Chains A and B, each alone.
Chain A
Amino acid sequence: MRLEYFEMIDQVTSLDRDAKRIEARSTVPMESPVFEGHFPGHPLVPGVLLTETMAQASGYLVLGLTDFSHMPFLMGVDKARFRTFVPPGTVLTVTATLEHEGSGYAVTKAKIMTEGKPVCDAELRFRIMPFPDGMDSLMRAQGKRIGLLGETA
């Protein structure tokens, strides 16, 4: 994870097209400017960044299932729950499942675990739109970086 660059997913470990489910792994860095403020002397990953992590896993799920044909943009977060603190060095397992594929939108359920214990979960909604100019290649590069394109090839 590179928190300050919003690179929340280190590696996609599986993409199950039949179950419409993705699993990814991320390790919280030992140091980040984020921890200077959250909180001084007591570094914890902010809940908003855990939400972003679930959103990115969900987004990569949609990208993988649609073969990068459209871009998902986060439009709603429901039922978010943060169940434990996440300090530096924590290894996270992030999963997302497609709950509903609507016309122009998608709904996922996402969860983060560490060492078999729940960290957080939420229901996320995405607007599915054509890629803005130039974003297609950027997202494909990101997908390649985290091993998603290898999964979809």
Chain B
Amino acid sequence: MSSTFKTVAGIISETADIPREQITPESHAIDDLGIDSLAFLDIAFAIDKAFGIKLPLEQWTQEVNEGKAPAEEYFVLKNLVARIDALVAAKQA
């Protein structure tokens, strides 16, 4: 389990009051964990601060709403973690 996932899982657990053991890399933030859009903005703020990045939530939401990408691509935690890692790498490059 990556350190990024541990950090993200900790943020979700604390922000959305979800028991840490329920949060796995396969969890879908919306479908499995029941996180609504406002709660996800709180989580995004904590992630932005923790990693020094800006999650492009508006772009992701638009792509999902327009059918250009499945929601799983962004909101299953292992995929979210991979995107966080990519954003951090891009920032450091």
Q: Which residues of A contact B (CB under 8 A)?
A: 75-76, 100-105, 107, 125, 127
Contact = CB atoms under 8 A, between A and B. Distances in A.
B38 A102 contact: no
Interface residues of B, number: 14
B45 A102 contact: yes
Give the interface SS of chain B, mostly helix, strand, loop or mixed.
helix
A104 B54 CA distance: 10
Contact of A107 (B45, B54, B56, B61): B45
A76 B43 CA distance: 12
Contacts, number: 36
A101 B57 CA distance: 12
Contact of A127 (B38, B48, B56, B59): B38
A100 to B, nearest CB: 6
Interface string B51-85: 00011111101000000000000000000000000
A75 B41 contact: yes
B12 interface: no
Nearest to B41: A105
B44 interface: yes
B54 A75 contact: no
B49 A100 contact: yes
